[in-house]
Structure formats: C-alpha cells, structure tokens
Amino acid sequence: MNEGSTAHYTPAQRYTALAYGLVSHALFLASVVVMFWSLYNGLHMSLVHLHGGTAVLMDVLLVVQFAVGHTLLLSDRGRKFMTRLAPLGLGAALSTTVFAALASLQLLVTFLLWSSSETVWWMPSGGLKLLLSGLYALSWILLAKSMSDAGLDTQIGSLGWRAVWRGERPNYKPFTRTGMFRHSRQPIYASFTLILWSAPVWTPDHLVIASLWTLYCVLAPVLKEKRYLRWYGAAFARYQRRVPYWFPGPVRSIKSTTLKPTDYDVAIVGAGPVGLLLAGLLGQRGLRVLVVDKRTEPLIHSQAIGITPPSLEILSKLGLEEEFVQQGVKIRDCQVFGHEQKLGCASFRDIPGAHRYILSLPQQKTLATLESKVASLPTVTLLRGMEITRLEQDAEMVSLGGEKILFTARWVIGCDGHKSRVRDLIQMRTRGGQYGCHFLMGDFEDHTSLGHEAHLWFTREGAVEAFPLPDGRRRWIVQTPQPVIGSDHGLISELVRQRAGLDLAVHDQLNQSPFSPRWLQAEQYHDGRVILCGDAAHLMSPIGGQGMNTGWADAEFLAEVLIAIEQRDQPALPLLEAYDRCRRCASTVATQRAARGMWLGTRTGVVSSWLRDTFMRECLFKGPLAKHIGPYFAMLTIPYNTIKSVPEKVFALR
Ligand SMILES: Cc1cc2nc3c(=O)[nH]c(=O)nc-3n(C[C@H](O)[C@H](O)[C@H](O)COP(=O)(O)OP(=O)(O)OC[C@H]3O[C@@H](n4cnc5c(N)ncnc54)[C@H](O)[C@@H]3O)c2cc1C
C-alpha cells in the first residue's frame, strides 16, 4: 500500500495532468448526459440519418466498437497502449484518466452517431410513464452507488491526474468487497443492464442496444475476473466462492465448526498492546492461542500513555486494573492555555464511574504487564522474533508462517499495527490520508511544578502538550512547522520555552521521536477467517490519545465474538459483521474527534489563534458544553466503548 507516498512531478507534468483530468471529466459528464437522455427516449432521436441496411450496419458497429474497444483497453495490451497516450513520462500515472476519457468517448460516439429507425413501438404515458421513469432513475442511482463502492476516483479517472497534481504516486487499491460488492461481484455491470431494460420508450434501436450490451455485461466480467485472479490470487478466489457473480444474492457463510484439527484456535499476529490484550482475554476463557511478533524484544520507546476509564474496565476482566492503576499516574485535570491567558480546565473529577481520571502509563510498562499476564495463561503461547509473511486460508482454517507454513489456526487476527502485513496479505483495501501536521515528542525528568495535571498551550506559534508520567517524568509534545528529521535534543526545550515560558534542561531529556499523524480505515475488518484489530484496522491521530484505547475495545468485542463462535457454536458471519459495524462506527467517531481536536489545537497566527481562544474560552469551557468535556476526552461518549454498551439486539452475544 503506498497511500499518500510522494513523487516528484515538474510543473509541466502537473499542468498536463490537470488538462487531461479536465478533458476526461468533461467527456465523462457529456457521455452520462447523452446516454441518460438517449436511452430514456429509446434512441428514437438522432443526429445522423442513415437509412436501411447502412443504418443497421452502422448501428451494430457502434454497439460492437464499445464492447470490443472497452474489453481491449482493459486487457494487458490495452493497458500498455494507454500508457503511450500521455506525454512527459506520465503514461502510467495517467492511465486511469486516459481510460475514463476513451470509454466516455466511445459512449458519446455510440449515441451521437446512432441512426434511429424512427419507429416507436411503445411509449408509456401517465402513471405508467412515471413508474418506469422512477425505475430508470433508480437504476442510475444503483450504478452511481456501485461505482462509488468500487472507488469513484478509479471509475471516473480522477485517481491518475489528481495524484500527479498533488505530487503523489497513484494509489491503486485492491478489489472491493463492501457496499453493493457484498452481494454481487459485478454490481456495475448489473446496474448498467438494469438501466438498459428499464428505459421506458421501446423502439427497435432500444432492443438492439439493450440485447447486445446485456450480452456484453454478462460476458465481459468473466475476463475481468480472470485478471483479478491473476492480480489478487487466493483473496479474490475466496471472494468468488462467497459472493454471487452477477445477480445479487446472500453471501455464502463461513463454516463455524471445523473438522480439520488445527494447532491453535486463534493465531494473533502482533504482540502490541492490542494483540496481547486479545490473547489474554481469549486465553483466560480456555482458547488455544498463539501470539507471534517479529520483534525479539517488546518496544522500548513509548507511544501510548493515556489509558481511559473504559479501558480500565476492560483490563479488569484480566484482573489487571489494580496493577495498572498502581503503576500509573492519575490525571484528574487538564489545564488549557491560549495566547497569554488561561482558557479553562478540562476536569475528569466529575465524570461518571469508578475511575475519574485518565491513567498515564508508558506503553513499555503496559506491554510488560500484559505480557506477564499472557505468560501466566497455560493455553497461550507467545513467540517472538518471527515475522509472518504468508497466510493461506480455506473454509476451515488458516495456515501461517514465513518462508514456510509453520502453524495452523481456525482464526488469524492481524494485530500487527498500521502497516499491517496481514492486511496486505488478504488484499484488503484501505482509505486514508495525512493531516499535514507535525510533532516532536520527548520524555523528560520532570522538575516543573505542574504536578499530576496535564497542560496544553495553544499558541500563535504552535501547540505544546505536557503529560505527567510515573517515576517523576513528563512527556512533552511540541508542534513543529515541518517534519523534524534527525534533530539533536534541544528543540523541544527551545519551543517549550518560547511557547509556554518553562525551562526544560536539555540534559533531562530521555528520548525523542517525531511523528506526523495520519489516518487510515480498512475497508472491511474481516475476510474469511482473517480478522483485523487495533491499528491494523484503523489508524487515527495520536493527538487525543485514543488509538490504543480504541484497539482495546476492538479486542474486547472480538474476544466475545470468537468465544461465541468457538465455544457456543454461534454462526460466524453475523458476528463478524457486527464486529465490523460496531467497531468501525467507534473508530470513525474516535478518528474524527482526534482530527477535530488536532485541527483546533494546531491553528497558528494571530487571527486563528484569537478565534480559537475565544471559542474555547467562551463556548467550550463555559455554558452547557463545559460539563461534556470530561466525558468526551475520557472516551465515555464513544459508541460501543466497552462490550457492555453494545445493545443485545445488535447481535446475540450473551
Ligand atoms: C506518539 C504516539 C503517541 C500515542 N499515544 C497514545 C495514547 O496516549 N493513548 C492511546 O490510546 N493511543 C496512543 N497512541 C496510539 C497507540 O500507540 C496505537 O494505537 C497502539 O500502539 C496500537 O496497538 P496495536 O497493538 O494495534 O499495534 P502496534 O502497537 O503497532 O503493535 C503491532 C505489533 O505487531 C508486530 N508486527 C508487525 N508486523 C508483524 C508481522 N508481519 N509479523 C509479526 N509481528 C508483526 C510489531 O512488531 C508490533 O509489536 C499513540 C501513538 C503514537 C505514535
């Protein structure tokens, strides 16, 4: 996946791409309008007036040129040919744009050069016309929806030129499995056929075009699927087995019980915080669990520190709540400053529940505590120093390993972080992007008088955040105008002095790491017997401290799902779909909140800063919104933040 990977293009290349884009979109729009109108009227109006045999021959040629031309362009040779149709070395990058332009041109030619027979067999009127027109409009809506599910950027050709314009490599995504593609592998062709047959005016011309193009719509995807099998291999073959070819139908279910013996019930790839928690929850209920991690040692530098009250509730299921609380620092208040003034205080003292604070604990300690719990569970095996690069699944089990297949399990869970190899191995599409914000983070021995409070400074020059850590330390995060590459210690101290007026001695700095937040969502959190969890399924900005907490809520949910399938023989597919639906909803809300919070905090300059200060001081920290701030930042208002908040009707878990 090369989401957002940069590439250098000259101004000439960028403007050429823009011109190609404009022409392609103009042709696309024109072809849609002309086709909509022509089909609706049964092609009985035309610009060209040939007669007799010549007209018939010409019309058949027009229909055939579209079908054959379209098929040829999509073949390997056709693709190679299209790369020659853009100058300045842009052939490959602009191939989707060129394809959309050529396909639109073919449609335009078909309808504009059509010689009508000028015979109308049947033209409805009154209520019937209204009904058929409605059906026709609905077919177009279905076509638009299926194109959008497939990826509108590829379908209308904007992927190529926009990537060049933005200085990125085009990101070609694997095949889609969601939306209308859940019920039919070819919804675009199916909707197009529906358009052909729902147009209300019947003429000989309409019958010819509808019949020949229906034939094309049924046969052409066979070639397309052959290509997909070549590109996406087993992942596409599995999709073919599950989802009907053309007519929408029910998805074939995953077998819940398996006959083949496997080494493990569940194999978890990744011993990060999410993988370890999941292993603990499953191992505690007696499932045979394997956890593999490519690292020989757990992570040494800390990422996540903030643990929210719902997460402490989840940890209590492993009996770890007290151990975590003992080790961490309780943050009960977060003081917020703007330009030379205090804006307010986000307090957790009055939030509902037993834990009226955010617990601060470095990720290494979190991992160590979880790992020792996992080690105490007899049915869980943790293997370090092993990278999973191979997965093969059939209806009953998954085999996994590196160069060789080493283990088998009924289920494999990708908890392998945002660059998930497991996700790539199942060819799962992702959506994502960057925010264009940059930060530098460092932990310091703390000699300030900030105590156990968190402090945020939103200044005209950029943000500074400070969070207490155990053992007399404090984490500092500073916003930087550019990504920091290889900077010596000292920059954090300098920016904190400028923006917050506090002196941090450089020799008190323990570590430093830059980060530039991104977001990502996997299109589907499961494929057959492989399931994604934590950052492998969704990535959000670390600002706001929600990534690990969201991953833990995924793990709690997924543990219940797997136990229901394995120990109570509940059908797998509805449970996995509930997991996907609920956890996607939760992670989307968390991702949006993180993005909004980061956006607000990172506005710089006099005007933006004044607007932010006024908004926060007058609206957020005063009036009716004020009482919601604590629960909001403690993630109490994220949907499905623990399994208890999943309504029973969502799926019969308990
Ligand atoms: C600077 C920063 C601060 C953050 N602060 C917070 C916070 O305060 N609160 C919060 O909730 N979240 C925070 N987050 C987010 C949090 O760190 C992540 O959401 C969390 O680590 C995700 O956990 P995970 O287990 O899904 O993935 P990871 O932590 O990325 O773990 C993945 C594991 O998989 C292993 N792995 C990867 N590929 C393979 C393979 N092919 N085979 C075997 N093993 C593999 C890796 O070695 C790794 O151990 C922060 C993130 C950053 C960057």
Distance 107 CA to ligand 1 centre (A): 49
Residue 495, pLDDT score: 97
Closest CA relative to residue 247, chosen from 197, 176, 175, 191: 191
Alpha carbon 25 to its chain centroid, in Å, reads: 26
Residue 259, pLDDT score: 64
Residue 48, pLDDT score: 76
Which ligand 1 atom is at minimum distance from the Cα of 311? 11
Ligand 1 pocket, residue 415 CB under 6 Å:
yes
Tokens linked to 189: 């062709």
> Average pLDDT for residues 181-195, to the nearest whole number?
96
Tokens linked to 555: 């793990």
Distance 367 CA to ligand 1 centre (A): 10
Residue 653, pLDDT score: 47
3-class SS of residue 479: strand
Which of 293, 366, 478, when mutated, tests ligand 1's pocket best, judged by the most ligand atoms within 8 Å of its CB? 293
Q: Could you read off the pLDDT of 126-178 as tens digits, one per residue?
A: 999 999 999 999 999 999 999 999 999 999 999 999 999 999 989 888 999 99
DSSP state of 38: H
Closest CA relative to residue 465, chosen from 507, 496, 487: 496
Supply the residue whose CA is at minimum distance from atom 27 of ligand 1: 417
> Does residue 129 contact residue 42 with C-beta atoms inside 8 Å?
no
Residue 134, pLDDT score: 96
Residue 255, pLDDT score: 63
How many residues are there in the chain? Answer: 654
The label of the residue with tokens 């992927």 reads 159
Strands 530-532 and 526-527 come out as antiparallel
Distance 295 CA to ligand 1 centre (A): 12
Packing angle of the helix pair 187-198, 126-155 (nearest 10 deg): 150
Residue 258, pLDDT score: 57
> Average pLDDT for residues 287-293, to the nearest whole number?
97
Distance 548 CA to ligand 1 centre (A): 7
Supply the residue whose CA is at minimum distance from atom 3 of ligand 1: 303
> Does residue 388 contact residue 379 with C-beta atoms inside 8 Å?
no
> Does residue 435 contact residue 424 with C-beta atoms inside 8 Å?
no
Distance 137 CA to ligand 1 centre (A): 47
Ligand 1 pocket, residue 332 CB under 6 Å:
no
Ligand 1 pocket, residue 515 CB under 6 Å:
yes
Q: Could you read off the pLDDT of 396-439 as tens digits, one per residue?
A: 999 999 988 889 999 999 999 999 999 999 999 999 999 999 99
Ligand 1 pocket, residue 517 CB under 6 Å:
no
Characterize 115-128 residue by residue with b for buried, 16 or more Cβ atoms within 10 angstroms of its Cβ, and e for exposed. bbbeebeeeeeeee
267, 269, 385, 532 from 393: Cα distances, Å:
13, 15, 23, 15
Please report, in angstroms and rounded to a whole number, the separation of the first and last CA atoms in the chain. Answer: 38
Ligand 1 pocket, residue 547 CB under 6 Å:
yes
Residue 2, pLDDT score: 43
Task: Give 3-state DSSP helix, strand, coil % of the chain, rounded to 5.
Answer: 50, 15, 35
DSSP state of 115: B
Tokens linked to 379: 């049915």
Asked whether residue 1 carries a pLDDT value surpassing 70, the answer given is no
pLDDT band at 55 (very low <50, low <70, confident <90, very high): confident
> Does residue 290 contact residue 320 with C-beta atoms inside 8 Å?
no
The label of the residue with tokens 């979880």 reads 370
Asked whether residue 628 carries a pLDDT value surpassing 60, the answer given is yes
Which of 276, 294, 407, 557, when mutated, tests ligand 1's pocket best, judged by the most ligand atoms within 8 Å of its CB? 294
- What type of residue sits at position 394? D
Asked whether residue 486 carries a pLDDT value surpassing 90, the answer given is no
Q: Could you read off the pLDDT of 464-482 as tens digits, one per residue?
A: 999 999 999 999 999 999 9
Q: DSSP H helical segments within 83-180, as ranges? A: 95-112, 126-155, 158-166
Q: Could you read off the pLDDT of 92-118 as tens digits, one per residue?
A: 999 999 999 999 999 999 999 999 888
Distance 478 CA to ligand 1 centre (A): 21
Supply the residue whose CA is at minimum distance from atom 20 of ligand 1: 548
Distance 292 CA to ligand 1 centre (A): 14
Ligand 1 pocket, residue 155 CB under 6 Å:
no
d(CA 364, CA 298): 7
Distance 631 CA to ligand 1 centre (A): 25
d(CA 137, CA 11): 42
- What type of residue sits at position 462? G
Residue 516, pLDDT score: 96
Distance 164 CA to ligand 1 centre (A): 31
Tokens linked to 57: 């021959």
Domain at 438-515, CATH from 2.60.120.10, 3.40.50.300, 3.30.360.10, 3.30.70.2450: 3.30.70.2450
pLDDT band at 302 (very low <50, low <70, confident <90, very high): confident
62, 207, 255, 288 from 68: Cα distances, Å:
10, 19, 41, 54
Residue 654, pLDDT score: 46
Q: Which segment, 280-289, 293-302, 488-497, is predicted with the most confidence on average?
A: 280-289
The enclosing H or E element of 335 equals strand 333-338
* Cα three-residue angle 176-67-239, rounded to 5 degrees: 20
pLDDT band at 340 (very low <50, low <70, confident <90, very high): confident
Q: Which residues contact 147 (CB under 8 A, 6 or more apart)?
A: 155, 156, 188
Domain ranges of the chain: 11-242, 264-331+342-433+518-582, 438-515
Characterize 279-312 residue by residue with b for buried, 16 or more Cβ atoms within 10 angstroms of its Cβ, and e for exposed. bbbbbbbebbbbbbbbeeebbeebbbbbbbbbbb
Closest CA relative to residue 311, chosen from 299, 303, 302, 320: 320
Tell me which CATH homologous superfamily contains domain 264-331+342-433+518-582.
FAD/NAD(P)-binding domain (3.50.50.60)
Distance 272 CA to ligand 1 centre (A): 6
pLDDT band at 301 (very low <50, low <70, confident <90, very high): confident
Distance 588 CA to ligand 1 centre (A): 18
Q: Could you read off the pLDDT of 219-267 as tens digits, one per residue?
A: 999 999 999 999 998 899 999 999 999 998 877 776 655 567 899 999 9
Ligand 1 pocket, residue 548 CB under 6 Å:
yes
> Average pLDDT for residues 278-299, to the nearest whole number?
95
Distance 542 CA to ligand 1 centre (A): 11
Sign of the torsion angle spanned by Cα atoms 69, 72, 73, 74: positive
Q: Which residues contact 436 (CB under 8 A, 6 or more apart)?
A: none
Percent of the chain with pLDDT over 70: 97
Mean pLDDT of the residues in the chain: 93
For residue 531, list its beta bridge partners. Answer: 413, 526
Ligand 1 pocket, residue 534 CB under 6 Å:
yes
Ligand 1 pocket, residue 542 CB under 6 Å:
yes
> Does residue 420 contact residue 405 with C-beta atoms inside 8 Å?
no
Ligand 1 pocket, residue 443 CB under 6 Å:
no
Tokens linked to 447: 């000699």
Backbone angles phi, psi at 113, to 5 degrees: -95, 5
